[in-house]
């Protein structure tokens, strides 16, 4: 995302959406009653022909619908334009390469932090392959979470209850890694396995450029959960320490550690709200799922007040993606939790 203009005196920013991942950030920034200006199309019917015309429209936002390639924002039209009456409902569809203007009544510090993060942080460019003698799972780390790419199943030779991996399966895995590396131009590639399978694969890898990108890690089993396990490993943290996903997972892990000790943590909406009201929260964690659900139910205002209170008391707010294990864990606690300055009774 590129910030073309930032006018905080008038609470207005002009943004250019550059990648599909920017849409996730934008979906978190847009809230009810914002003013969104962007290009949209309308159908024009002349006789038997129907054509489309592009126009620029401003709407007061009410609802957002996010997918990985598109963000649809619905709201009421704020100015009379051609045959679109003021106050009528219209949807602006935002994709990569679009330029939009977003105006709020007030930009909170956590929202400005998200905005700067989206503008300065490069897209996560890390491939992960977790495999054993029979299966291989491929995923890509993105700023908005983990994207599962594919699964390979290899042929194995079985003899006297002994299972051996064929070299052909290693070749298939390497070929798939090379294809994904070419597609995404990965900065780092993590290969992980139980036992010694990763070392065996690395031995037959002849692509020297690929070897320079590879980090070897250990996982307890080759399955989809192994991807989340791998990014927590000490041997890969140095490569991932700048990635948003890792930071979010570590924040949730810290919360869970405090909960296990029955010390500096609360979770669930009611307890977290009480902690915010007395200024006890140093770090508030909220999932994007909870934000989306509350907006859908038109009950987001209470959560918004909690976030305001945390900021007013010099705490920080972290929005957690539900696409990784950390977000799923926090959703299991109601989608909200907080690390405290001091223990409360």
Residues 6 or more apart in contact with residue 252 via CB below 8 angstroms:
285, 320, 326, 327, 329, 330, 337
> Residue 148 above 80 pLDDT?
yes
The H or E element spanning position 71 is strand 71-77
Per-residue model confidence (pLDDT) at position 281 = 97
Q: What is the pLDDT of residues 123-147, one digit of tens each?
A: 557 899 999 888 999 998 876 678 8
Rounded to two decimals, the pTM is: 0.62
Q: What is the pLDDT of residues 50-96, one digit of tens each?
A: 677 788 999 999 988 888 788 999 999 998 777 788 999 999 999 98
Per-residue model confidence (pLDDT) at position 259 = 95
Question: What kind of fold does domain 126-242 have according to CATH?
Answer: Nucleotidyltransferase; domain 5 (3.30.420)
Per-residue model confidence (pLDDT) at position 96 = 85
Question: What kind of fold does domain 245-340 have according to CATH?
Answer: 60s Ribosomal Protein L30; Chain: A; (3.30.1330)
Among the ranges given (38-52, 210-224, 231-245), the one the predictor scored with the smallest mean pLDDT = 231-245
Q: What is the pLDDT of residues 159-206, one digit of tens each?
A: 433 444 445 888 999 999 999 999 988 888 999 999 888 998 998 888
Average pLDDT of the chain, as a whole number: 86
Joined tokens for residue 305: 């007040």
On whether the CB atoms of residues 95 and 222 are closer than 8 A, the answer is no
Q: What is the pLDDT of residues 279-328, one digit of tens each?
A: 999 999 999 899 888 888 888 889 989 998 998 899 999 989 888 889 99
Per-residue model confidence (pLDDT) at position 233 = 77
In whole angstroms, what is the distance from residue 67 CA to residue 106 CA?
A: 26
Q: What is the pLDDT of residues 216-233, one digit of tens each?
A: 888 888 887 888 888 777
Q: What is the pLDDT of residues 103-121, one digit of tens each?
A: 999 898 888 888 887 887 6
Alpha helices in 30-163, H assignment, sequence order: 109-120
Per-residue model confidence (pLDDT) at position 47 = 58
Q: Which CATH class is domain 2-120?
A: mainly beta
Per-residue model confidence (pLDDT) at position 156 = 54
Q: What is the pLDDT of residues 329-339, one digit of tens each?
A: 999 999 999 99
In whole angstroms, what is the distance from residue 148 CA to residue 156 CA?
A: 24
Alpha helices in 123-207, H assignment, sequence order: 167-184, 197-204
| 273 C-beta neighbours (distance < 10 Å), count | 18
Instruction: Render the burial of 101-116: b for 16+ CB within 10 Å, e for the rest.
Output: bbbbeebbebbeebbe
Per-residue model confidence (pLDDT) at position 158 = 44
Q: What share of the chain is helix, strand, coil (3-state, %, to 5)?
A: 35, 35, 30
In whole angstroms, what is the distance from residue 174 CA to residue 168 CA?
A: 10
Q: Can you say whether the dihedral through the CA atoms of 80, 86, 88, 90 is positive or negative?
A: positive
Ranges of each domain in the chain: 2-120, 126-242, 245-340
3-state secondary structure at position 34? coil
Per-residue model confidence (pLDDT) at position 117 = 79
Per-residue model confidence (pLDDT) at position 22 = 84
At 235, is the pLDDT very low, low, confident or very high (cuts 50, 70, 90)? Answer: low
Using CA atoms in the order 303, 36, 319, 111, what is the torsion angle rounded to 10 degrees? -90
Per-residue model confidence (pLDDT) at position 69 = 82
Using CA atoms in the order 298, 107, 9, 123, what is the torsion angle rounded to 10 degrees? -120
């Amino acid at each position: 995302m590129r910030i073309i203009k930032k006018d905080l005196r008038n609470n207005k920013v002009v943004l250019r959406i550059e990648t599909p991942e920017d849409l996730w950030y934008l979906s978190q920034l847009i809230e009810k009653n914002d003013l969104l200006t962007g290009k949209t199309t309308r159908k024009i019917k002349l006789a038997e022909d129907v054509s489309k015309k592009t126009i620029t429209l401003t709407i007061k936002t009410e609802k957002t619908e996010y997918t990985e390639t598109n963000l649809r924002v619905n709201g009421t039209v704020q100015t009379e334009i051609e045959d679109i009456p003021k106050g009528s409902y219209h949807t602006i569809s935002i994709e990569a390469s679009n330029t939009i203007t977003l105006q709020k009544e007030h930009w909170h510090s956590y929202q400005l932090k998200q905005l700067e993060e989206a503008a300065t942080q490069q897209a996560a460019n890390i491939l992960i392959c977790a495999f054993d003698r029979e299966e291989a799972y491929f995923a890509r780390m993105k700023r908005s979470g983990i994207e599962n790419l594919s699964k390979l199943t290899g042929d194995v030779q079985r003899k006297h209850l002994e299972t051996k991996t064929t070299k052909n399966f290693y070749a298939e895995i390497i070929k798939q890694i090379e294809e994904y590396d070419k597609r995404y131009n990965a900065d780092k590639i993590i290969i992980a396995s139980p036992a010694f399978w990763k070392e065996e694969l690395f031995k037959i890898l002849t692509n020297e450029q690929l070897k320079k990108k590879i980090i070897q890690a250990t996982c307890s089993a080759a399955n989809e959960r192994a991807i989340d396990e791998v990014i927590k490993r000490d041997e890969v943290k140095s490569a991932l320490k700048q990635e948003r996903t890792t930071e979010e997972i570590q924040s949730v892990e810290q919360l869970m550690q405090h909960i296990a000790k029955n010390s500096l943590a609360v979770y669930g909406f009611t307890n977290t709200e009480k902690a915010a009201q007395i200024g006890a929260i140093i770090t508030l964690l909220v999932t994007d799922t909870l934000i989306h659900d509350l907006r859908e139910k038109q009950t987001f205002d209470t959560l918004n007040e909690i976030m305001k209170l945390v900021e007013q008391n010099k705490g920080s707010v972290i929005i957690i993606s539900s696409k990784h294990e950390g977000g799923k864990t926090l959703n299991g606690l109601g989608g909200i939790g907080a690390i405290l300055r001091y223990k409360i009774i």
